[in-house]
Amino acid sequence: MSPKKPISNSSTLISSKFVEKEIKKEGKKCKKRKQKKKLGTKGVVYFSHIPHGFYEEAVKSYCSQFGKVTGVHLPKSKKGNSRGYGFVEFQHQEVAQIVAETMNNYLMYGKILKAKYIPPSEQRPGVMRRAQFWDNKERAIKENEKTIHLMTRKLKPKEELAKVKRMCKNVEKHHEKLKSLGLDYEFQVESAPAVKTEDKEQNME
């Protein structure tokens, strides 16, 4: 009997690499299946050029006339302001498609609203935050309070003069713009608006 030939190291390496590749492929397929299960059959509409004032509750109430809304997510900046785009999730894909077709290029508050249907296969899990209305509400309130304080605070004499100078420059710009349009019209600011100023005695101290 002839002696058995020893198995070469190269063949074992090739077989092990092949097995590793097959395992990775199966793992990727399982991940895709899980993602599809998570996504389900719900339809999502992506909105852009959203006008100021058309926020979560208004979006939900408006879109609910087409069908059941299961989630609204309008991303916000660090200051709590809307970024001008968002996602609306509907219970049925057919409803989402109708909304995208109906609302695309829709004129709203002086802006042309853009709407695009996103099928489940293109949706990213985790992007949609279901029913989180008034996101970052506390942060937005704080920023509004800061703005109100800056607009209503007492101005120092230097700050008041700077404000009046800015107003005069703006008036000159408007005059030049009217002249460029062929309109011979001028207007003047007789007096600066009523501004709260601190007493000069306090500033001198």
In a domain, 3, yes or no: no
Q: Which domain holds residue 170?
A: 153-183
pLDDT of residue 50: 93
The β-bridge relationship of strands 43-48 and 69-73 is unpaired
Answering whether pTM is above 0.75, one says no
**Counted domains in the chain:** 2
The β-bridge relationship of strands 43-48 and 111-118 is antiparallel
pLDDT at 132 over 90: no
Same domain, 161 and 117: no
More confident residue, 105 or 127: 105
Distances (CA, A) of 22 to 25, 52, 192: 5, 52, 78
Structure tokens at 202: 């306090």
Which of 101, 136, 171 terminates a domain? The answer is 136
In a domain, 173, yes or no: yes
